[in-house]
Chain A
Amino acid sequence: MSTPAAAADRPGKIHARPVRHPWRWVAIAVILVVVAMMVSSVVTNPNWNWSFAFEIMQQRPVIDGLWKGTIFGTIGAMVLGIVLGIALAVMRLSTNPVLRGVAFVYTWFFRAMPRYVLLAILGGAIAVLYNPIDIGIPFGQQLSKALGLGNDLTFFSFSWNDISSSIWIGILGLGLSEAAYMAEIARAGIMSVDRGQTEAAHALGMPPGKTMRRIVLPQAMRVIVPPTGNETIAMVKDTSLFIAASIITELYFQAYGFGSRSFQIVPGFMAATLWYLIVCSILMVGQYYLERYYGRGFGAPSKATRRKLDTITAGH
């Protein structure tokens, strides 16, 4: 074996015929026909009315609905959902049975509540039940009556009607609901971090809160970020439920309104569809970079990190 034989009587490079895949070609043909039919319909059927759809997309109220309703509502609800969700996850994993119980009941309730119903309740029922809302000492009014005080111990009050159809109600409703899902995601993330990490931090004298913030959560993020990206994209679409709380500054309601007012309902739908596709596509790109950031230390570091570290350690 160790003496090289003449090249002629030894097998050389392989030039084999690849396996044929006839069914792939059949599938391609079928798909091409279907796509051609769809494209032809989209182009030739005048009821699509694309030019009007593009026009609707650029209308002031639609753009307002996109920014102030859909995008602002998504950001607000996700911020509320993530902050509250991580707090709930930490509570759920705490040794304190009261905190654990509260977190469990919260998650149970808000996962069972449909978002549409939740928004409708916040937009309608609260105004009937608690109006105006008084902020003061708990049971202050009853106390002051019992003690015969002149002051009813209320610091200030506001009417629910003032905020009931504002974006804040939408953010509150979707954010509370989101927190229940984020709590589960964050809990899975925290539990995915090796127990040795907590022990190492404790052994260095780090108190539990700091251990969670500095050591566990940054590592949990690697597991938390991808599903959170999905949640954000789902949230963009769920802002179309705002109408349940009579919030009309919102992309879908505005686009649909333009369509129905001009008896051109399809371009209205298409205007909303195109905007949703654009926003969600941008979010998917953002998610890619976030995942890469929180994945540091688990693959090769990015060029930017290397540069940063090189400047830190330069001069030594």
Chain B
Amino acid sequence: MSTDTRTGSSTDTGKSTGDPLVHAVNVTKAFHGNEVLKGIDMDVHPGEVVCLLGPSGSGKTTFLRCINQLESIDGGRIWVDGDLMGYEDRSGTLHRLTDKRIAAQRREIGMVFQRFNLFPHLTALENIMEAPIQVKGEKKKAVRERALALLDQVGLKDKPSAYPAQLSGGQQQRIAIARALAMQPKLMLFDEPTSALDPELVGEVLRVMRQLAQDGMTMIVVTHEMGFARDVADRVVFMDGGVVVEQGPPSEVISNPQHERTRSFLRRMRQEEEAHEKALEEAAHLAGLGDEGPA
């Protein structure tokens, strides 16, 4: 993976010297007249890991969903790997693509949801195998081998025949990551992948994501996990009120934020983290007491 194009390469104009994998220019989106995205520019280069930070309602999840057209955009353009998402430009006039062609565009983009959204009527292995067979028409045997390798990769090789309801949240999310990877995507989108998890299960999911980043996957991650953003992201983008407030390497944005809005958000996050750690410690303390009880 080329690392030279990573840090600090992108500017807010959307024009970049390299070939960005995601090239978004002036993206706007409104829900019932309420403008959620107010002109987002963003480039993500191959191999780059970008974390989107910001308070809830800042538009980061909406922007993520616009990239793979789960939401259509009202203005601007998004290109992924050179493809204009959702539309076809026929000599200057935009034509909306059919659902089938939008589906084809999404094959290159994996997505992991906050609430996992595993298919509950299929086993873990079937969840991973479903799309490559049904969407790409791949041979079952080859897909099964890849799926089992992916299960191993996410540390769940002993769970191929478990149904989602029999798995913990962390296990389900790891299966969901494997399911997205089975389509061999060029880009992975993560929409708050750990915020529906019990605190003690967050680590196992972050570990899988960290490994994925090290293997060179291009990732856009909406998250509240500051530690992950600090350690893994090549760039963090701070959004608020539907605009990009500030972006840059995590060392700069997180340690030395330039804008007051970023500063107050980070302060709040730090307080929450501390409260959280305290709660965990207390829980561990109580658990320790419980162990000693009957002895």
- A residues near B (Cβ < 8 Å) are 194, 196-197, 199-208, 210, 214-215, 218-219, 222, 294, 296-301, 306, 309-310, 312-313, 316
Contacts and interface: CB of A to CB of B under 8 A. Distances in A.
Contacts of B105: 205
Contacts of A312: 125, 144, 160-161
Contacts of B131: 201, 204-206
Given A201-B119, A204-B135, 10 more contacts: A197-B119, A199-B117, A205-B105, A205-B131, A205-B136, A208-B99, A219-B120, A297-B122, A297-B123, A297-B165
Contacts of B110: 203-204
B148 A214 contact: no
B183 interface: yes
Nearest to A214: B134
B103 A207 contact: yes
Contacts of A306: 161
Contact of A204 (B130, B161, B164): B130
B114 to A, nearest CB: 9
Interface string B143-159: 01000100000000000
Contacts of B186: none
B70 interface: yes
Q: Give the 8 A-B CB pairs with smallest separation, nearest first.
A: A309-B161, A205-B107, A200-B117, A204-B131, A203-B111, A196-B117, A297-B163, A207-B103
The secondary structure that dominates the A interface is helix
Contacts of A296: 121, 163
Interface string B120-141: 1111010000110011100000
A163 B125 CA distance: 51
Nearest to B108: A205
Contacts of A208: 99, 103
12 contacts: A197-B119, A199-B113, A200-B111, A200-B176, A203-B180, A205-B136, A206-B103, A206-B135, A214-B130, A301-B163, A309-B123, A312-B160
Nearest to B107: A205
A219 B119 CA distance: 9
Interface in B159-195: 160-161, 163-166, 176, 179-180, 183
A216 to B, nearest CB: 10
A207 B166 CA distance: 28
B218 interface: no
Interface in B269-289: none
A214 B129 CA distance: 13
A204 B99 contact: no
B104 interface: yes
Contacts of A196: 113, 115, 117
